[in-house]
Chain A
Amino acid sequence: MIRNGRPPVDLFHGNEHLYLRYGRQNWVDGELDLTGIKLDKTSVNRGSFSEPEDVLYSVANKYEHMGVVRFSVGEIPSPVSKPPAPASVFWPVHDPLEENYSHSEIWSKKDGVEEDYSKPTAAIRTEFRIRLARVLTEDRICIRATDPAGQA
């Protein structure tokens, strides 16, 4: 997991797995609900450089009880359009952290516009999350979330 001076690897293959953390409270009737997916540079781990359990690694153990699901790079919905807003495109960016070389993010921008990043409209974010959530069913669970997190 340690970066150890390694540079980012820009190339992602379509069949490479990405691991996403989730909480049990957002698992609804056999699939991850869209409310369990955060879409603003969504944080994931690359399967090429990590194992599912690495997503839950934390010195402070703050991801206790959370689970991990997997999807492939080719399953990232893109482009997503919701007229009258311009379509948004989505792609993975390898963003290594010192303690997590595999750390990556899903970035977005308006299709055909010269920009590094822009947060999509709420409707486009929802459509993206629905399309991604559809594949995040029981057979995609790598580590099952246990108790609902965060109850006082």
Chain B
Amino acid sequence: MIFSAMPPQVITAPLACIVQRFTYGPSDEHYRTIFDSVQTSARSETWSSNERIAEKFASLENLRADWNAGESETPNPVTKLQARLIVEELLSKQLSPTAIMPSVEGGIGITIVRGERRGSIEILNSGEMVAATYESSGDPDVWEFESEKQSIIDTVEKISVYMSA
């Protein structure tokens, strides 16, 4: 029985890719109807989020050289690749970015806003990568991190813990 292991109420958008892997028996119409409903719902939420992020990356790809009146570099290919890896890691933690944007310092900024709390990651063309968590007052927590996978995972985990606290 498919739903004994995966009841509908726990199927959320990030799990849509898992849901899509399930199959069901054609004779079981009742569960087939429920399954189709849940699958469609989960898929549409995921597609919505993915489309939004795809649009943001597309706008970065289409950024003209004079995007900031010619006073800032456009993100370079390495920066764009790093940003995609970081966004994938954020999504794995159910942290959908509020904004993915070019930085006037030359690079890409990823910002997550949840109420008063903000998490920020900036990937610069220079190779520097800086993350921060902060609110409207108090000392921000700012740290530099490396491009290695584990360093990215640790940074995303730190932001995830802060945003959900």
Query: Are A and B part of the same complex?
Result: yes
Q: B-contacting residues of A (Cβ < 8 Å)?
A: 21, 23, 25-26, 28-29, 33-40, 58, 62-63, 66, 82, 121-123, 125-127, 130-131, 134, 148-152
Residues A150 and B130 in contact, CB atoms below 8 Å apart: no
Q: Which residues of A contact B124 (CB under 8 A)?
A: 122
Instruction: List 19 A-B residue pairs with CB atoms under 8 Å apart, sorted by A's residue number.
Output: A23-B68, A25-B59, A29-B99, A34-B109, A34-B132, A35-B101, A35-B109, A35-B111, A38-B104, A40-B105, A126-B120, A127-B132, A134-B137, A149-B67, A150-B63, A150-B66, A150-B68, A151-B63, A152-B62
Question: Per a CB cutoff under 8 Å, which of A23, A28, A62, A150 touches B98?
Answer: A28
* CB-based contact A26/B63 at 8 Å: no
Q: Within the assembled complex, what's the spacing in Å between the Cα atoms of A57 and B86?
A: 38
User: Could you say which residues of chain A place their CB within 8 Å of the CB of B109?
Assistant: 26, 33-35
> How many residue pairs between the two chains, A and B, have CB atoms under 8 Å in the bound complex?
99
- Of all chain B residues, the one with the shortest Cβ separation from A25 is B101
> A126 and B122: CB pair below 8 A?
yes
Q: How large is the interface on B (under 10, 10 to 19, 20 to 34, 35 or more residues)?
A: 35 or more
Shortest Cβ distance from A139 into chain B, in angstroms?
A: 14
Q: Does B81 contact A (CB under 8 A)?
A: no
B144 in the interface, Cβ–Cβ < 8 Å? yes
